[in-house]
Amino acid sequence: MRQVPWDDSGARQVASCMRSGGVALLPTDTVYGLAAHPLHGAAIDKIFDMKRRPRARNLPVIVSSVADIERIGCEISAAAERLFSSEFFPGPLTLALGLRAGAAPGWLKDRDEVAVRIPDDEFLVQVARYTGPFLMTSANLHSAQPRESVGDILPELAGAPDVIVDGGPRATVASTLVNCRLIPPAIERVGAVPAEDVEKILL
């Protein structure tokens, strides 16, 4: 386990670690997260083990742009288009989208939907530019409240990440999750974006 700086040099080191099969503990614009490259199954397994997360709950995907969302084969509904254009995207809004048959990469082959987010955080977006889309989930035990700091997070996890970026205290409220596959779209987790703000955009 090593700590790297919260700057472009650190983003490059995080990306190198993830491309080599490591797990990263990173600050986001909401809570701290655990991240892994989607082509490294052992790293993905490690995240599930560290969080004690049920294997049936797929990991969300971080991307650097809407173009990346399209490239991984997501179906862009009218509701998703409206949310893309909102003040909360990029930001603390995660969208569950369907996948076009035959268009998704191999690491998404067993899914029929994927939760995607573009953070409003230049460091994290830079990591995604260096790695391509990657998997990330909040850095807390499954069903537990997220913690504010690296010092609070590490003792709780069942194992240690390979690389750490300490971005100082973070919020303990995750992003709001909206399922855009459903008609009408449904808010499946209320988080940093209030439900009423999402509903106004979708009207």
Q: How many CB atoms lie within 10 A of CB 88?
A: 19
**10-51 pLDDT, tens digit each:** 999 999 999 999 999 999 999 999 999 999 999 999 999 999
Q: What is the band of 194 on the pLDDT scale with cuts at 50, 70, 90?
A: very high
Over pLDDT 70: what percentage of the chain? 100
137, HSE (Cβ side, Cα atoms, 13 Å): 27
Domain ranges in the chain are 2-202
Structure tokens at 11: 């983003």
User: Is residue 122 over pLDDT 90?
Assistant: yes
Bond preceding residue 90 cis, omega within 30 of 0: yes
**97-107 pLDDT, tens digit each:** 999 989 999 99
State the average pLDDT for the chain: 96
Q: What's the CATH code, domain 2-202?
A: 3.90.870.10
User: Is residue 1 over pLDDT 90?
Assistant: no
Mean pLDDT of 88-116: 95
User: Is residue 110 over pLDDT 90?
Assistant: no
Note the pLDDT of residue 120: 97
d(CA 106, CA 149): 35
**144-163 pLDDT, tens digit each:** 999 999 999 999 999 999 99
Note the pLDDT of residue 203: 85
Rounded to 10°, the helix 8-19/122-131 angle is 40
Structure tokens at 166: 């300490």
Structure tokens at 8: 């472009």
Residue in 141, 99, 101, 140 with CA at minimum distance from that of residue 116: 99
Q: How far is CA 15 from CA 114, 145, 146, 163, in A?
A: 22, 27, 24, 10
